[in-house]
Amino acid sequence: MQAIAVKRGEDKPVIIEKPRPEPEPGEALVRTLRVGVDGTDHEVIAGGHGGFPEGEDHLVLGHEAVGIVVDPNGTHLEEGDIVVPTVRRPPADGTNEYFERGEPDMAPDGMYVERGIVGAHGYMSDFFTSPAEYLVRIPESQADLGFLIEPISITEKALELAYASRSSFDWDPTSALVLGNGSLGLLTLAMLKADDKGYENLYCLGRRDRPDPTIDIIEKLGATYVDSRKTPVDEIPDEHEYIDLVYEATGFPKHPFQSVQALAPNGVGALLGVPTDWEFEVDAGAFHREMVLHNKALVGSVNSHVRHFEKATVSFTKLPQWFREDLVTGIYDLDDFEAAFIDDDTTIKTAIEFGTI
């Protein structure tokens, strides 16, 4: 079968031939439909994660997949089920408490591999296998955009943590700010628009000039675009209002500090970006004091697990049809897979098609 991989010492994806995998006991065989591309893939290609599977000279890319079960192999799944795989798997030395209790997303470094990211092959191949417990069934109506379920699940988990942190008192947020207008930021903005919390005012921060397709989506969602070059995060209260929920998807380490200043009393900031080291001066006293005197919280969130994927299939149905169409700017065949990795100002979300139902 064909697969898209990055080879050791190279920094661009290539098509390779691999044997079709055989499912082990407890695993199902899945025929791949589509696999999304995101910023993490670009980091993997650039060597930023760098975890090749043991003894392998290549890593098959892709962690945002949707496929169709072709061999349930005695598991609870059925042939023809449309499924989305989760990303984390036990490490080579075996399972551990986090996997045993169904929360691999809470496992620390070294206690997991991530398919397509670190230590395990991803899903950009004609077929893949997975333990059935990590394959989440989705409705057939979601199959064409099922590669969005994984990124949506990332936000499900982050919002779950953020809301949990505010659950010991009566919290009634009315404003939310998404930092970052990439595909995850826009998905989150659309999810917040449909959120049960009933946000009245939504904001999304980027650094783009108009005309821009992401700004169009932001405004079509009824949200306000904030240009970070004109209005840094900590000036948003002056320009607009204090914000109850900040969702950070930029990986810019000034944002946690600026967010605490922009948060309304009792607000929470969810952090999702993964920056490298960067030392700079901050008013740590003001940060600390503001956290305390106004009962603010910061929660970090990484990855997601089965429950969040299941929630994501519900959230997916609430995303407007126009939004899904505008968000996905390209679906590419294997012949044209390089186009899916082009990241310019006209690209929002792309996916590679390996097959159809």
Binding annotation: 40, 114, 150, 181-184, 207-208, 272-274, 301-303
Pairing of strands 349-353, 27-37: antiparallel
The answer to whether 312 and 153 have CB atoms below 8 angstroms apart is: yes
Q: How far is the CB of 36 from a second copy (least distance, A)?
A: 21
- Name 100's Cβ contacts closer than 8 Å, sequence gap at least 6: none
- Give residue for tokens 């950009």: 124
> Phi/psi of residue 320, each to 5°?
-60, 150
* Beta carbons within 10 angstroms of residue 211's beta carbon: 8
* Two tokens, residue 80: 């023809």
Strands 2-7 vs 58-60: parallel, antiparallel or unpaired: antiparallel
Q: Which helix (H) or strand (E) holds 228?
A: none
CB of 263 closer than 8 Å to CB of 179: no
**Token pair belonging to 23:** 């499912």
Between residues 192 and 217, which has the closer beta carbon with respect to a second copy?
A: 192
Phi, psi for 30 (deg, rounded to 5)? -120, 135
Could you tell me the sign of the dihedral formed by the alpha carbons of 192, 35, 63, 7, in that order? negative
Q: Are 340 and 125 in contact (CB under 8 A)?
A: no
What's the one-letter identity of residue 236? Answer: I
How is residue 275 written in tokens? 């920056």
Residues near a second copy (CB under 8 A) are: 101, 103, 105-109, 160-161, 163-170, 251, 253-257, 265-266, 271-302
The CA-atom distances, in angstroms, between 200 and each of 67, 97, 211, 245 are 37, 41, 25, 12
Tell me if the bond preceding 90 is cis, omega within 30° of 0. no
